[in-house]
């Protein structure tokens, strides 16, 4: 399995605090069956790392994993926040795609989704990228009205729900929304959005199994394996646009 959304880099955002925690998270990932993992630090509000700096820190952490005999391949990325000045940061390489791919992990604001949000997502399409919306099931306006993301989905956008939304983290609305999205064919990828080694860990197997109850084993497996692999390899994903 491949995790496209984690905060495993030590000391850069609200994820892993230090190298020891990064290594603990990597061991958890391997034990759960993960082979590749994107490090996707927040592009705003914490240490703003350029794409080059993320790649350098990923390389440094990879050396530590290799030294510790942890068989996990790290890849660089950003969790790109869709706020007004996003494209200024993009121009300065403070936000960018997953690895060298055309896929962008794009996070709407938690309490606000409007035409400007769609405009930014659509500009990414116009620039030749394919946005993956990070955890829509946790975004309050989307919980209130799933049709909000219909234009994005109709354009062929992808969604990533968070594993703990399915396995239970106390957020019943997130769980309810994730399950409704699964039933309606609105989910393409499951990722951990792992921040720590003690909760929201980099593990996907339990969420894959929970999703399988709703969408079947083949589709659930695609959400944690085949589809993320397409992103690693920067190949085209073909999804059927959803109309709610
Ligand atoms: Fe995240």
Domain ranges of the chain: 2-232
Q: How far is the CA of 237 from the centre of ligand 1 (A)?
A: 22
What separation in Å is there between the alpha carbon of 20 and the centre of ligand 1? Answer: 20
Tell me the CA–centroid distance for residue 66 and ligand 1, in Å: 25
Q: Quote the DSSP letter at residue 80.
A: E
Confidence (pLDDT) at 236: 86
- Stretch 90-99: mean pLDDT, rounded? 96
The two tokens of residue 91 are 């121009």
Average pLDDT, the chain: 94
Alpha carbon of 137 to ligand 1 centroid (Å) = 13
Nearest Cα residue to 149 out of 176, 189, 179, 122: 122
Distance 113 CA to ligand 1 centre (A): 17
Please tell me the distance between residue 212's alpha carbon and the centre of ligand 1 in angstroms: 23
Q: What's the 16 CA to ligand 1 centre distance in angstroms? A: 12
Calculate what percentage of the chain has a pLDDT beyond 90: 90
CA distances 65 to 40, 82, 202, Å, are 17, 32, 15
In sequence order, the 6+-apart residues with CB closer than 8 A to the CB of 235 are none
Separation of CA 182 and ligand 1 centre (Å): 20
For residue 240, name the pLDDT band (cuts at 50, 70, 90): low
Residues near ion ligand 1 (CB < 5 Å) are: 79, 193
Separation of alpha carbons 150 and 227, rounded Å: 21
Q: How far is the CA of 5 from the centre of ligand 1 (A)?
A: 6
The Cα 200–Cα 202 span in angstroms is 7
Strand partners, 36: 2, 73
Q: What is the DSSP-derived secondary structure letter of residue 77?
A: -
pTM: 0.96
Give 162-218 pLDDT, tens digit per residue. Answer: 999 999 876 899 999 999 999 999 999 999 999 999 988 999 999 999 999 999 999
CATH T-level assignment (fold) for domain 2-232: TIM Barrel (3.20.20)
Rounded Cα gap, residues 52 and 192, in angstroms = 24
Contacts of 217 (CB under 8 A, 6+ apart): none
Backbone angle region of 208, left / alpha / beta, with phi > 0 → left and psi within -120 to 50 → alpha: alpha
**Which comes out higher in pLDDT, residue 243 or 87?**
87
Q: Which of the 8 DSSP states describes residue 147?
A: G
Distance (Å, whole) CA 224 – CA 216: 13
- Residue 162 alpha carbon to ligand 1 centre in Å: 9
| Ligand 1 center–CA 79 separation, angstroms | 6
What sign does the dihedral 137-139-144-148 (CA atoms) show? negative
Backbone angles phi, psi at 112, to 5 degrees: -150, 125
Count other C-beta atoms under 10 Å from residue 102's C-beta: 18
In the reported structure, the alpha carbon of residue 37 is separated from the centroid of ligand 1 by a whole-number distance in angstroms of: 13
How many whole angstroms from 132 Cα to the centroid of ligand 1? 12
CA of 40 to the centre of ligand 1 (A): 7
**Model confidence over 49-80: pLDDT tens digits?**
999 999 999 999 999 999 999 999 999 999 99
């Amino acid at each position: 399995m491949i995790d496209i959304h984690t905060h495993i880099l030590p000391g850069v955002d609200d994820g892993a605090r230090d190298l020891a925690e990064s290594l603990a998270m990597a061991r958890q990932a391997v034990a759960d069956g993960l082979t590749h993992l994107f490090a996707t630090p927040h592009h705003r509000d914490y240490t703003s790392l350029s794409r080059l700096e993320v790649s350098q820190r990923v390389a440094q952490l990879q050396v530590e994993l290799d030294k510790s005999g942890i068989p996990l391949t790290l890849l660089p990325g950003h969790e790109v926040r869709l706020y007004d000045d996003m494209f200024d940061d993009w121009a300065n390489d403070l936000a960018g795609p997953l690895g060298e791919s055309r896929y962008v992990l794009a996070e709407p604001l938690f309490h606000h989704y409007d035409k400007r949000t769609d405009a930014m997502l659509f500009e990414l399409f116009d620039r030749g990228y394919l946005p993956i919306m990070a955890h829509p099931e946790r975004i309050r306006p989307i919980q209130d009205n799933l049709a909000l993301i219909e234009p994005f989905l109709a354009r062929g956008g992808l969604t990533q729900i968070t594993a703990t939304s399915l396995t239970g983290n106390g957020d019943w609305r997130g769980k309810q929304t994730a399950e409704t999205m699964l039933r309606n064919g609105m989910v393409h990828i499951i990722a951990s959005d792992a921040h720590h080694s003690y909760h929201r860990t980099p593990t996907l197997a339990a969420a894959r199994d929970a999703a399988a109850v709703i969408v079947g084993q083949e589709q659930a497996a695609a959400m944690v394996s085949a589809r993320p692999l397409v992103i690693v390899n920067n190949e085209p994903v073909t999804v059927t646009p959803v109309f709610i």
